[in-house]
Each structure stands twice: as C-alpha cells, then as structure tokens.
A = this chain, B = another copy of it.
C-alpha cells in the first residue's frame, strides 16, 4: 500500500544538492525548491532512502520524510500560492 510523504531536504553542497534533486524527481512531484511530494510503497521508500544515504553527508545534510498517511485517503491536494503562480511541475506519477 502506498503512503503519501512530503520529502524536504537541506543539503550543504551544490553538487550533492543536484544529485539529491535528481533522485527525488524519480520518486515524486517537485513542489518547490527542496520540497517534493511522493507516494511510495515500503519497497520504494527503502530504495529511495538507500540512494539518498549514498549521496548525502550524514553529519551536515538532512532529508526529512514527513508521513502524511495512506495515499488513497489523501483526496485532492489543494495548493494555493502567494506571489508567483504555482504550476505543478510534473504530472502526478506513481513509480511502477
């Protein structure tokens, strides 16, 4: 069963930052800057975390997984913006 997560990161080095961004793009929707929304099975989450662990420096970088519950109960996500318009960068996609 898929769970819905917010993934947000604070990476100190630009090179690692780009790598983390690429990894995250493979697992969810880019909302803004260092914030993604992901729908993940348990297996996908473990894969995702393993890839991130190989890239980040554990003593200065941080990636947060905020668990928002099971995906099917999530309902339509309303995102409103102040300032620049919010345009969903990627169509919602599940990694199969």
Q: Report Cα–Cα, A54/B39, bound state, in Å.
A: 35
Known: A58-B82, A63-B82, A64-B81. 15 other contacts (CB 8 A): A6-B6, A8-B8, A8-B32, A10-B32, A31-B66, A33-B33, A49-B82, A53-B82, A61-B83, A62-B82, A65-B79, A65-B81, A66-B77, A66-B79, A68-B68
- Minimum CB–CB distance for A64 against chain B, Å: 5
How many copies of this chain? 2
Chain A interface size, under 10 / 10 to 19 / 20 to 34 / 35 or more:
35 or more
Interface of A is mostly: strand
**A contact residues vs B (CB 8 Å cutoff):** 6, 8-10, 31-35, 37, 49, 52-53, 56-69, 75, 77-84, 86
